Structure 1
Amino acid sequence: MSDLAKASRLPLSTVRRLEQDAGSVLIRSHRAAAGALREAGIGLPPLSNGAVAVEMRADAVP
């Protein structure tokens, strides 16, 4: 969690809120966290039901 906070430049409390109640967090915080995850090689493809999957991208370096 603290690695994501550092990478996204978000406070740790915001990252915790993203995990607990994503609806209470500003969209720019969602985008910052998603961008940091993508930079780390984690894909976030949308699903047909509106949810988002989490996957390791094929081009990611282990």
Structure 2
Amino acid sequence: MEERQRAVLGDEDGGPTCPLCCEEMESTDLALLPCPCGYQICLLCLHKIRNEGNKQCPACRSE
């Protein structure tokens, strides 16, 4: 994982959080890499993007 992404995901306690909803990410979320660019989001946000959003990665905008 890139250092830049670690800075986004880390919170005050050092635990990873989803950069979209700011909720703590669980091990299932962390194991998921939905985009080849490596951007990580939680399963709930991924579901919203795929079913209600534009179906694009928030970081690189690929589908």
Q: Which structure's residues are more often strand, by fraction?
A: 1
**TM-score in terms of structure 2 length:** 0.30
**Which structure is richer in relative contact order (CA contacts within 8 A, separation 6 or more)?**
1
**TM-score in terms of structure 1 length:** 0.31
Q: Which structure's residues are more often helix, by fraction?
A: 1
